[in-house]
């Protein structure tokens, strides 16, 4: 800046739902030598989504204005910075930056393309096989985001079933956390549990003096002293934006309960419309006593119209005091798996014929602290013995979707697990443990986790535990990934951490392929150099044109490098809550690149996989990340155009990559995004993308062709080197009239092949 005096205005607001109170985001900052220590946005602004402006007079003497931020608790967050010269008015003279938004190419028309000199020609050389298609190329990536498990694929219908959504989680550091030790949560006095409502004049509160066990160390105390036959009293739960009720369907109800002396019961469980006018099914349950006991029953509906604006109720007509814990309601699950998954969503996944599932997730693996990561040992056994933990996306995870459930999910869809192991690094304020003795317990924890999945049930400790949990047969597994997106660890520790895990895993399981979470798309300075990973995990989130521009990226990767590629997270991020046709086209262009190069790109999976579309905005929203493959509410689900593009690629390909060539591919000019939203360099990008594979046994050739131009293109396909060609072929086409055409919960099949 020119030398002189300025006024700097720093605009703060807490906008992340993972921060729920004071002390959770604290940092210091310095403006031109003026120090602001232990700054708490929540305290300064007075709550969530409230603005606070810090005004600082400064003087520039060397042509530079310097503002630095130092994390204390969680990363610093600032919404805007104004720099006002003395001659300016109160409004800034600096032109506003473009509004932050999801990168988008979603306009009604496509920019004009350059005319080719002749017809488009695609040449397929059936006599030349350039490589083998990886049999594991297409799979799934999953994590707890957008209510993917809770309120998503995990079939539980009760929200906050264990009454721990209001838990206060103890703070830890990497130095104070004891590996494997369970740390109980606490609760503020007189807390009313979220997502539960008292009915019939009852009152309720969380009670830590009457826990079910050490893991579910709280219960719901229900004062039903006002109950009568004319006005039953109790509690209601609205589920995840509604309880779905379907015709002629049997639901499984279970809960733990006890009662104060003198209560004779019974209690009634029911499915009712939210307005209370209709009861779809109900059942009376007797036998409550002064000791905790588990109760289970079935609720079966009759012929009715499917709906979601309903509640689950537990009431009594007898005055008294009750305690409840782990109140559960399950619909029929996929393949009738106990504690299983939602059938309609699983059917969408099954139709993709995925070969693997990468779990337990990206950020969800690491968590915001060492006791908030995915601690797999705490996800085993009966659900009432699983303490749960806060997900890093701002809501409570019951861990009903535990390690065994992930593996059984794979089994149900004939997939292999790709296990991500915690590697000593947590997000943001969580911290990191460098290589050395302090990291070794986490290496052993990973080895035990692998043993749980693939160890022999008779000769290994954790294989025996798996058998005890109901699955004696080991799962088939080839790949393990060390950490997730460890390029966010700025300490430079990943090389050493990876080496320690790599050595430990290879020593005990030499057949496993060990993957680095630091891919070649990240700065080379932090990549793994002390070992040779079997694969590296690369992540790409781009808009349509950026995906088109990089659709030949893997053509130039080294074929002699022993390290292969896992494209473990990628998406054309255009469209919300799920991708539109622009997203599907960007995906298609990118998939031709991966399939054409699947001799080195062995595995790939889109992310995120799921989004609950019930409440897209506002406090407590159901979506934390837009452009997700599959959308759903409490009642129904749908696949986006990008889902259908994925399905076309994953279900129709051969095992041999054929040589291809082309002439007269149309191009158009595109301006790449620069830093900070500024315009970048212009370049020509192709508008038509393709690859060809062949099934070696049947001889069928699969030609994938992606036209992003917005107009029909006549393409001459020349197949050379084949002994004979049948006179007819089959075309499977996904098309739309506009780039922003899409599917939705109300129009699930607007764009389908």
Summarised one tens digit per residue, pLDDT across range 675-684 is 766 778 899 9
The lowest-confidence range among 100-104, 139-143, 406-410, 619-623 is 100-104
User: Which two tokens mark 626?
Assistant: 């837009």
pLDDT at residue 98 in the model: 29
Ranges of beta strands (E only) in 617-678 are 630-632, 637-639, 656-663, 667-673
φ, ψ at 659 (rounded to 5°): -65, 140
Contact between residue 344 and residue 351 where contact means Cβ atoms under 8 Å apart:
no
- Return d(Cα 309, Cα 298) in angstroms, integer: 21
Candidates 158, 159, 182; CA nearest to 169 is 182
Q: With 50 as the cut, is the pLDDT of residue 89 above it?
A: no
User: What angle is formed at CA 182 by the lines to CA 219 and CA 16, rounded to 5 degrees?
Assistant: 75
Find the mean pLDDT for residues 583-604. 98
- As a 3-state breakdown, the chain gives helix, strand, coil percent values, each rounded to 5, of 20, 30, 50
CB < 8 Å & 24+ apart, contacts of 229-233: 229/317, 231/200, 231/201, 232/199, 232/200, 232/268, 232/315, 232/316, 232/317, 233/198, 233/199, 233/200, 233/201, 233/202, 233/315, 233/316
Candidates 295, 299, 297, 298; CA nearest to 323 is 295
Find the mean pLDDT for residues 299-323. 97
User: Which two tokens mark 418?
Assistant: 């790709």
For 126, 352, 516, 554, 722, the CA distances from 657, given in Å and listed in that order, are: 9, 21, 26, 14, 14
Confidence of residue 33 (pLDDT cuts 50, 70, 90): very high
pLDDT at residue 113 in the model: 54
* β-strands 535-542, 267-273 pairing: unpaired
> Could you say which DSSP state residue 245 is in?
B
The lowest-confidence range among 46-55, 479-488, 640-649, 739-748 is 46-55
Candidates 712, 708, 669; CA nearest to 572 is 708
For 137, 399, 402, 405, the CA distances from 377, given in Å and listed in that order, are: 30, 11, 9, 13
pLDDT at residue 96 in the model: 29
Q: At what angle do helices 403-412 and 440-454 cross, to 10 degrees?
A: 40
* β-strands 389-390, 396-397 pairing: antiparallel
Q: With 70 as the cut, is the pLDDT of residue 15 above it?
A: yes
- Return d(Cα 436, Cα 17) in angstroms, integer: 35
What three-state secondary structure class fits 154? strand
- Return d(Cα 655, Cα 39) in angstroms, integer: 58
* Average confidence score pLDDT of the chain: 93
Residues of the chain with pLDDT > 90, as a percent, come to 87
| The residue to which tokens 């403006």 are assigned | 31
Q: With 90 as the cut, is the pLDDT of residue 658 above it?
A: yes
For 170, 322, 327, 393, 612, the CA distances from 318, given in Å and listed in that order, are: 39, 11, 20, 41, 38
| Residue 184 neighbours by CB distance under 10 Å | 14
pLDDT single digits (tens) 243-288: 999 999 999 999 999 999 999 889 999 999 999 999 999 999 999 9
For 28, 244, 248, 271, 273, the CA distances from 305, given in Å and listed in that order, are: 57, 11, 10, 14, 12
φ, ψ at 544 (rounded to 5°): -60, -50
- Return d(Cα 681, Cα 379) in angstroms, integer: 49
- Return d(Cα 681, Cα 692) in angstroms, integer: 32
Candidates 629, 600, 659; CA nearest to 354 is 629
Q: With 50 as the cut, is the pLDDT of residue 100 above it?
A: no
Candidates 656, 655, 651; CA nearest to 639 is 651
Candidates 169, 229, 204; CA nearest to 327 is 204
> Could you say which DSSP state residue 100 is in?
P
Q: Please name every residue paired with 99 in a beta bridge, in sequence order, or none if there are none.
A: none
CB-based burial, 473-499: b 16+ in 10 Å, e otherwise: ebbebbbbbbbbbbbbbeeebbbbbbb
Contact between residue 718 and residue 123 where contact means Cβ atoms under 8 Å apart:
yes
Q: With 90 as the cut, is the pLDDT of residue 86 above it?
A: no
**For the chain, what's the residue count?**
753
Report residue 272 CA to chain centroid gap: 32
Contact between residue 578 and residue 631 where contact means Cβ atoms under 8 Å apart:
yes
pLDDT single digits (tens) 436-458: 999 999 999 999 999 999 999 99
- Return d(Cα 356, Cα 736) in angstroms, integer: 30
CB-based burial, 733-742: b 16+ in 10 Å, e otherwise: ebebeebbbb
Q: Please name every residue paired with 68 in a beta bridge, in sequence order, or none if there are none.
A: 30
Q: With 60 as the cut, is the pLDDT of residue 103 above it?
A: no
Find the mean pLDDT for residues 382-395. 96
The lowest-confidence range among 19-23, 459-463, 492-496, 607-611 is 19-23
User: Which two tokens mark 514?
Assistant: 């060990």
pLDDT at residue 678 in the model: 73
pLDDT at residue 490 in the model: 87
| 3 state SS for 595-662 | HHCCCCEEEECCCCCEEECCCCCCCCCCCCCCCCCEEECCCCEEECHHHHHHHHHHHCCCCEEEEEEE
Confidence of residue 94 (pLDDT cuts 50, 70, 90): very low
Contact between residue 713 and residue 735 where contact means Cβ atoms under 8 Å apart:
no
pLDDT at residue 667 in the model: 95
Q: With 70 as the cut, is the pLDDT of residue 91 above it?
A: no
Find the mean pLDDT for residues 622-626. 95
Find the mean pLDDT for residues 706-724. 94
Stronger pLDDT, 752 or 525, i.e. the higher one: 752
- Return d(Cα 278, Cα 281) in angstroms, integer: 9
- Return d(Cα 529, Cα 526) in angstroms, integer: 9
* β-strands 356-359, 140-141 pairing: parallel
User: What angle is formed at CA 652 by the lines to CA 646 and CA 657, rounded to 5 degrees?
Assistant: 105
CA pseudo-torsion sign 549, 551, 555, 556: positive
Contact between residue 262 and residue 322 where contact means Cβ atoms under 8 Å apart:
no
> Could you say which DSSP state residue 747 is in?
S
Find the mean pLDDT for residues 697-719. 95
pLDDT single digits (tens) 532-560: 999 999 999 999 999 999 999 999 999 99
Total-model pTM? 0.85
Q: With 70 as the cut, is the pLDDT of residue 572 above it?
A: yes
Contact between residue 629 and residue 648 where contact means Cβ atoms under 8 Å apart:
no
């Amino acid at each position: 800046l020119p030398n002189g005096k300025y006024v700097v205005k720093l605009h703060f607001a807490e906008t992340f739902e993972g921060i729920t109170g004071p002390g959770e985001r604290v940092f210091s900052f310095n403006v031109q030598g003026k120090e602001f220590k232990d700054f708490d946005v929540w305290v300064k602004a007075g709550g969530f989504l409230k603005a606070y402006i810090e005004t600082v007079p400064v003087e520039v003497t060397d042509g530079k204005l310097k503002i630095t931020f130092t994390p204390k608790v969680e990363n610093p967050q600032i919404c805007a910075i104004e720099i006002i010269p003395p001659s300016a008015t109160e409004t800034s003279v600096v032109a506003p930056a473009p509004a932050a938004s999801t990168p988008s190419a979603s306009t009604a028309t496509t920019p004009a393309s350059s005319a080719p000199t002749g017809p488009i020609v695609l040449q397929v050389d059936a006599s030349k096989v350039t490589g083998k298609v990886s049999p594991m190329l297409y799979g799934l990536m999953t994590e707890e985001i957008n209510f993917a498990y809770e309120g998503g694929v995990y079939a539980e219908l009760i929200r906050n079933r264990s009454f721990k959504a209001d838990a206060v989680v103890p703070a830890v550091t990497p130095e104070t956390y004891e590996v494997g030790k369970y740390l109980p949560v606490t609760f503020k006095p007189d807390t009313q549990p979220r997502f539960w409502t008292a009915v019939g004049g009852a009152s309720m509160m969380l009670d830590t003096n009457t826990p079910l066990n050490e893991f579910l160390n709280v219960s719901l105390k229900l004062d039903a002293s006002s109950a009568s036959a004319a006005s039953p009293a109790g509690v209601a739960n609205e589920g995840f934006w509604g309880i779905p009720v379907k015709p002629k369907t049997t639901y499984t109800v279970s809960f733990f309960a006890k009662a104060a002396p003198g209560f004779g019961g019974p209690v009634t469980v029911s499915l009712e419309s939210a307005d209370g006018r209709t009861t779809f099914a109900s059942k009376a349950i007797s036998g409550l006593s002064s000791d905790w006991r588990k109760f289970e029953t079935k609720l079966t509906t009759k012929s009715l119209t499917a709906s979601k604006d309903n509640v689950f109720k537990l009431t009594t007509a007898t005055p008294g005091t009750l305690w409840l814990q782990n109140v559960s309601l399950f619909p029929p699950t996929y393949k009738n798996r106990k504690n299983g998954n939602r059938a309609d969503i699983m059917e969408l996944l099954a139709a993709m014929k995925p070969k693997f599932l990468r779990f337990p997730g990206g950020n969800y693996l690491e968590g915001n602290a060492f006791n908030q990561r995915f601690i797999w040992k705490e996800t085993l056994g009966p659900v009432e013995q699983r303490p749960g933990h806060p997900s890093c996306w701002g809501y409570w995870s019951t861990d009903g979707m535990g390690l065994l459930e992930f593996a059984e999910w794979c089994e149900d869809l004939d997939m292999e697990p790709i296990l991500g192991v915690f590697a000593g690094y947590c997000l943001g304020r969580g911290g990191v443990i460098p290589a050395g003795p302090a990291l070794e317990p986490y290496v052993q924890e990973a080895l035990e986790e692998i043993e749980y999945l693939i160890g022999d049930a008779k000769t290994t400790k954790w294989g025996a535990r798996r058998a005890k949990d109901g699955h004696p047969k080991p799962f088939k597994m080839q790949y393990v990934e060390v950490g997730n997106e460890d390029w966010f660890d700025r300490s430079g520790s990943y090389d050493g951490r990876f080496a320690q895990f790599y050595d430990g895993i290879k020593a005990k399981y030499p057949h496993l392929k060990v993957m680095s979470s630091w891919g070649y798309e990240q700065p080379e300075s932090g990549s793994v150099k002390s070992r040779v990973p079997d694969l590296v995990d690369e992540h790409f989130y781009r808009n349509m044109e950026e995906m088109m521009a990089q659709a030949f990226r893997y053509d130039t990767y080294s074929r002699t490098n022993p390290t292969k590629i896992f494209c473990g997270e990628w998406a054309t991020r255009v469209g919300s809550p799920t991708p539109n046709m622009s997203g599907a086209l960007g995906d298609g262009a990118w998939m031709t690149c991966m399939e054409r190069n699947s001799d080195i790109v062995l595995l790939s999976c889109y992310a995120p996989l799921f989004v609950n579309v019930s409440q897209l905005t506002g406090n407590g929203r159901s979506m934390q990340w837009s452009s997700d493959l599959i959308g759903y509410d409490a009642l129904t689900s749908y696949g986006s155009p990008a889902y259908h593009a994925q399905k076309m690629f994953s279900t129709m390909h051969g095992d041999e990559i054929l040589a291809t060539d082309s002439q007269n591919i149309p191009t158009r000019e595109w301006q790449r995004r620069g830093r900070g939203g500024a315009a970048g360099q212009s370049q020509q990008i192709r508008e038509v993308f393709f690859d060809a594979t062949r099934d070696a046994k049947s001889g069928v050739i699969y030609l994938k062709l992606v036209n992003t131009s917005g107009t029909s293109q006549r393409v001459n396909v020349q197949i050379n080197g084949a002994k004979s060609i049948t006179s007819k072929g089959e075309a499977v086409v996904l098309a739309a009239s506009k780039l922003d055409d899409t599917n939705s919960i109300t129009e699930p099949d607007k764009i389908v092949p």
